[in-house]
Structure 1
Amino acid sequence: IIGGGVGGTAAAYFLNELLSKQRHEITIYEKNYRLGGRLHTVNVDNRQYEAGGSIIHERNKYAADLMAKFGLKRRAIRSDDRLCIYNGERFVFCESSWDIVTLIRLLRNYGLDLIRLQKQVNKVIDYFERIYRLQSEQYAYDQVSDLLTAMDSLVYNLTRTSYKQLLQSEYKLSDEFIGQIVQSITLVNYGQTISIPALVGLVSFAGAGSELYAIEGGNKLLPLHLAHFSRARMFLNTRVMSINYLGDHRYRVDSEQISEQSNRSDIYDYVIIATPLASQSNRIRFNNLTKRNELINDIFDKYHMHRTVATFVKGQVLDKYKDLSVLSCDIDRQHGGSFFTSLSKLMPVQNRPPPSTGQSDRNVHKVFSNRRLDHHELYALFDEIDDTQEISWLAYPEYKSVGQPLPPFRVRAGVYYLNAIEWAASAIEMSLIGAKNVALLVCHELNVCQTANNRAANLTLNRVEL
């Protein structure tokens, strides 16, 4: 398994479960010194804060079930700060400290659009939940499009239309609601506008609801526990250089131990790629895969990751931003838009507030942006700055083309691309669903797994033979 993020570690865990009665050995390669991938924390003033994937939805079954198995506790992420939408010049909407006043403002500005969109999102989540039953019956899919269609054809069709078109033409929502509320949510979650595919947009909106939580101690604990209970062998700080097909269902993986600059080669029966294959990433060479080499090169050339910069600032915000969580709805700088996508106060992952230092207004804030911010821009948000840390992520796919074909899970017999699912939508639960799917694909190829239909057919055949 190439990649030690939540997808790769989950694939190892699910495989270990599915193959529990067979002899097997699983190896995880991770180019960094740590597991977790984009689930990571940053240390600011001796406190840990979420830096990557930071939310889990109440209806994310795999995440919830795994947390329960591992004894991980939930951490509430509801903020007392008021939410405000900023267009680069002024606040176009702000919550009140009184819920009834906030409701009146929402109705006055946007009518019932928020309720109508929430209903549509819940409908899509209902369809999504069908995959849990299908995977429990050991159904697996070679293509991302087939997995989405198995949920419902509507889910796949949402990848073929733009979010903006869906909201305007089908849902009949107002331009004000779309351009202010919806776009601000899309920008903070994916750093991109409502021109993205509709499925990505609806997943983004689900990630802005009230039914959200995180893991106490950091969401990174989930991949750490997955890796531990998978019993996989770990090669950390190790970069995979090439995957070579040797024939007879055997693959040689050539890797480099980065710190020691030493090379090694290992032979495997199956390879799962659990890292994005994109133009900006370190390119893995694929050799002797015949016609599949063209497919892989096509993935590298046509699919790109979106860079998001998270800047962590300990200091005092300007009075205009005090006790506010700010989302930008316009990042077009040529037309007066904002240079950041969000500004929010953070709580540490330990589920308790920082100790009192006598400087109660010196909190840690996270600023999301699509590029690095200079000191002038930071001081447009903060009155005083004590410390800053910056993390630049290739955080999620660049969803720039509606109707762009989704990459396959199955590259060829024995080679699987787990992260293909990200091009449908990127979230922790999506990675877990993709991990379960590729684990089932391997299990089927080993003739260990059978769907309920196949089991019934085999039972019928056995009766006929008897």
Structure 2
Amino acid sequence: MAPPPAALPPLLPVLPVLPALAALLAALPAAPAARAAPRSIAVVGAGLGGSAAAYFLQQHFGPQVQLDVYEAAGVGGRLATVTVNKQQYESRGASIHALSLHMQDFVKILGLKHRREVAGKSAIFSGEHFVLEETDWYLLNLFRLWWHYGISFLRLQMWVEEVMEKFMRIYKYQAHGYAFSSLEELLRSLGGEAFVNMTQRSVAESLLEVGVTQRFVDDVIAAVLRSSYGQSVLVPAFAGAMSLAGAQGSTWAVEGGNKLVCSGLLKLTKANVISARVTGISLHSSEGRALYQVHYESPEGQGSAFYDLVVVTTPLHPSRSNFTFDNFDPPIADFPAAFQPSVTSVVHGYLNSSYFGFPDPKLFPFTSILTTDTPDLFFHAMDNICPVNISAAFRRKQPQEAAVWRVLSQQPLDKPQLKTLFRSYYSVQVTERQAHPRYDAAKALPPVVLHENLFYLSGVEWVASSMEMIAVAAKNVALLAYNRWHQDLEKIDQKDLMHKVKTEL
């Protein structure tokens, strides 16, 4: 039994102090009234960045804010599907890492499901032979890695795990409401200057420094980066680490298609999706505050609308969008950058297994083929893909059967190239995009804040391009917009955040 409480001191001696205390408090200046929420917010783009930004903005500013989302094409952006024989297949952006906590949360709140995994084996092709082949036996796979490359794969794993462990801090920071006004500040809060430097030096240089062999870089690292970014081992170390983390860890996808996350978030927020292409943003002022006029073109003609706050989630580059910014002083600078051409060919046909050294197609064991950086190779990767809806009775096609293959390349495949990869085919659906930044052309990271309440989300792709990086950037922009609107500077660009977060627990 607990001991009885100690006797309380007499209350009467304190009472004469209360009037004096009340008078002192009355003399203090009143706390500033909370600023009213913005009346209207515009989000430019309805891909994952735009839909996630709309969701997070509503979370922080409340459901009373008018949310307009502009999208010229379909909702989902690059998270698109193609139809083959009445079945839908992912064209790109198929895999989500198990540690993608925002994407996991989206799936949970939207009531979506993980797609059932269908096992398959991978191999790396040099143009003449397979330099590495996966088997059904885990220990045999490890032995082959060791036999060919020594302990390089262990050093790679340790390097990637160290980067990911620090990257995971962002979720704690965001859960406590902290935001960053630049990509450099965000990276610095996670891993110090080392993380910032990882955007300026190549993944090859970083891996060679930690003892990974050149042969492993040329065979394995190059193949992974060609598959994910369509680029070489000269991509920056941070972007490379994010890609290699996805190649190492377990991945998943959304049943019914990853684009359901975008449409689901917009439906959940009850955002007003406007089918129009935004052509520019001009600055005005009203009652001493910034007001942004968004100009757009729709099937009905040209129009415009005014907003208190704007988030741009489409890439601001002449090859991707023809944006103009008017009345800004100083003017909003151009973003000198380039994007990597990327072509996805979804082919329904019979694989030419002889090209890969298997004259009998029944003996071809691989469902995914990556390639080394060989000049004569005309494709980056190809895989035997499953539909976005997988029934319990689904089975993957046998190698001698007609199957749906997704081929990634830098240029559209011509007929001789298609005949090289396939004995025959029923259909070819080609999607050309400038999907990722040209990382070797990067000079500096783009800004996050373009003006007082005008923000740029897609610049995060110059750090790394993945679904989770975009979701992290969307959360950061929403927090940044909220904290700046309410002038809560203690939540922006704070130092020593790990210590601050621990003391707030």
CA shift digits 1:416-462 (9 cap, x unpaired): 000111100000011111111111121112218675699xxxxxxxx
Q: Using a 3 Å threshold, how does the CA distance of structure 1 residues 386 and 359 change in structure 2: closer, same or farther?
A: farther
Q: Is the 8 A contact 1:138 1:449 kept in 2?
A: no
CA distance in 2, matches of 1:318, 1:141: 51
CA distance in 2, matches of 1:438, 1:152: 20
With 341-350 and 100-109 compared, the bigger mean Cα shift is at 100-109
Give the TM-score of the pair, scaled to structure 1: 0.90
Of 7, 14, 39, the match for 2:56? 14
Of 31, 44, 52, the match for 1:2? 44
RMSD: 2.2
After superposition, residues 329-348 of structure 1 pair within 5 angstroms as 329-332=372-375, 337-348=376-387
Q: Using a 3 Å threshold, how does the CA distance of structure 1 residues 451 and 46 change in structure 2: closer, same or farther?
A: farther
CA distance in 2, matches of 1:274, 1:159: 21
Amino acid in the other structure paired with 1:155: F
Deviation at 1:99, TM superposition (A): 3.1
- Please state whether the residue corresponding to 1:330 is helix, strand or coil: coil
1:191 and 2:230 matched:
yes
Deviation at 1:370, TM superposition (A): 0.6
CA shift digits 1:238-292 (9 cap, x unpaired): 11111010123111111111x34x1111011111110011231131111011223
CA distance in 1, matches of 2:481, 2:164: 27
With 274-283 and 375-384 compared, the bigger mean Cα shift is at 274-283
1:206 and 2:240 matched:
no
Of 282, 288, 306, the match for 1:244? 282
Structure 1 equivalent of residue 85 of structure 2: 45
CA distance in 2, matches of 1:215, 1:230: 20
1:391 and 2:431 matched:
yes
- Please state whether the residue corresponding to 1:88 is helix, strand or coil: coil
CA distance in 1, matches of 2:232, 2:113: 34
Deviation at 1:102, TM superposition (A): 2.4
CA distance in 2, matches of 1:76, 1:183: 29
Deviation at 1:145, TM superposition (A): 0.6
Of 237, 256, 280, the match for 2:297? 256
Of 274, 278, 286, the match for 2:313? 274
CA distance in 2, matches of 1:62, 1:26: 21
CA distance in 2, matches of 1:394, 1:304: 9
Deviation at 1:38, TM superposition (A): 0.7
Q: Is the 8 A contact 2:198 2:236 kept in 1?
A: yes
Of 371, 392, 396, the match for 2:411? 371
Q: Is the 8 A contact 2:122 2:133 kept in 1?
A: yes
- Please state whether the residue corresponding to 2:199 is helix, strand or coil: helix
CA distance in 2, matches of 1:424, 1:73: 29
- Please state whether the residue corresponding to 2:407 is helix, strand or coil: strand
With 104-113 and 193-202 compared, the bigger mean Cα shift is at 104-113
Amino acid in the other structure paired with 1:100: L
Percent identity of the aligned residues? 31
Deviation at 1:77, TM superposition (A): 4.3
CA distance in 2, matches of 1:411, 1:331: 41
Unmatched 5+ residue regions in structure 1? 455-466
Of 313, 321, 346, the match for 1:312? 346
After superposition, residues 274-313 of structure 1 pair within 5 angstroms as 274-293=313-332, 295=333, 297=334, 299=335, 302-313=336-347
Structure 2 equivalent of residue 67 of structure 1: 107
Which structure has the larger Rg?
2
Amino acid in the other structure paired with 1:328: T
CA distance in 2, matches of 1:62, 1:46: 31
Q: Is the 8 A contact 2:179 2:492 kept in 1?
A: no
CA distance in 1, matches of 2:135, 2:429: 31
Structure 2 equivalent of residue 323 of structure 1: 365
- Please state whether the residue corresponding to 1:310 is helix, strand or coil: strand
CA shift digits 1:53-82 (9 cap, x unpaired): 1111111111111211111111244532x3
CA distance in 1, matches of 2:139, 2:283: 64
Q: Is the 8 A contact 1:76 1:212 kept in 2?
A: no
Deviation at 1:331, TM superposition (A): 4.1
Give the TM-score of the pair, scaled to structure 2: 0.83
Amino acid in the other structure paired with 2:406: K
CA shift digits 1:382-407 (9 cap, x unpaired): 111111111112111110146x2100
Unmatched 5+ residue regions in structure 2? 1-42, 357-363, 494-505
Q: Is the 8 A contact 2:70 2:273 kept in 1?
A: yes
CA distance in 2, matches of 1:279, 1:20: 35
Q: Using a 3 Å threshold, how does the CA distance of structure 1 residues 172 and 139 change in structure 2: closer, same or farther?
A: same
1:265 and 2:304 matched:
yes
- Please state whether the residue corresponding to 2:115 is helix, strand or coil: strand
Runs of 4 or more, structure 1, over 4 Å off, are 353-360, 448-454
CA distance in 1, matches of 2:82, 2:483: 40
Q: Using a 3 Å threshold, how does the CA distance of structure 1 residues 149 and 436 change in structure 2: closer, same or farther?
A: same
CA shift digits 1:276-331 (9 cap, x unpaired): 112311311110112232x2x2x1xx112212101011111012453322111124
Of 419, 430, 444, the match for 2:469? 430
Deviation at 1:358, TM superposition (A): 11
Q: Using a 3 Å threshold, how does the CA distance of structure 1 residues 423 and 358 change in structure 2: closer, same or farther?
A: closer
1:175 and 2:214 matched:
yes
After superposition, residues 350-361 of structure 1 pair within 5 angstroms as 350-352=389-391, 361=401
Q: Using a 3 Å threshold, how does the CA distance of structure 1 residues 448 and 233 change in structure 2: closer, same or farther?
A: farther
